[in-house]
Amino acid sequence: MLIEVKVKVARVIDGKTRKRTETLLLNRELFAEAEYDVMAKLAQEQTDGSVEDFSIQSLRISPLKEVANQFTGDSTFIATLKDVWLADDGTEKSLKYKVLIWANDLSEAHVNTQKLARQGYDMTIEGITQVDYEYLDDAVQP
């Protein structure tokens, strides 16, 4: 399951300490695994000198249903897709879900989202929002 971890971090940037809240996304089975991996990553950054202090603020199951990591870019975006189909009784059904994608800007994110939407028959794009997420893939886990 995808787990979002919010962390308050004091980072050293250009010799100055800047406090900010960061969101990290992990694909783990347990909250404890996600917490351990985030703490190990930030402890390593603390040893390297790029982080002065950190504290985990929250862990939650992410509303994201998929991470589309076939795209590259400097920014992360959440794309909301809507899939529409006809049920057996003839009524129209729909399902909305959110996907994390990478792109360099909003127009590239839209193109990447269109590629995802073409995977379904009647998928439409409901919205695209730029977010500041860091995705820690399974390679982080020991």
List strand residue ranges (DSSP E) for the chain, in order. 2-13, 16-27, 51-61, 64-67, 75-86, 92-103, 124-131, 133-136
Report the alpha-carbon distance of residue 119 to residue 111 in Å, rounded: 13
Whole-prediction pTM value?
0.81
Q: Which amino acid is at 30?
A: L
Domain ranges of the chain: 2-62, 64-132
Task: Please report the sign of the dihedral spanned by the C-alpha atoms of residue 42, residue 45, residue 49, residue 51.
Answer: negative
Band (pLDDT 50/70/90 cuts) for residue 138 is low
Band (pLDDT 50/70/90 cuts) for residue 29 is very high
Span 29-55, mean pLDDT?
92
Model pLDDT, residue 141: 39
51-110 pLDDT per residue, tens: 999 999 999 999 999 898 788 899 999 999 998 888 899 898 888 989 999 999 999 999
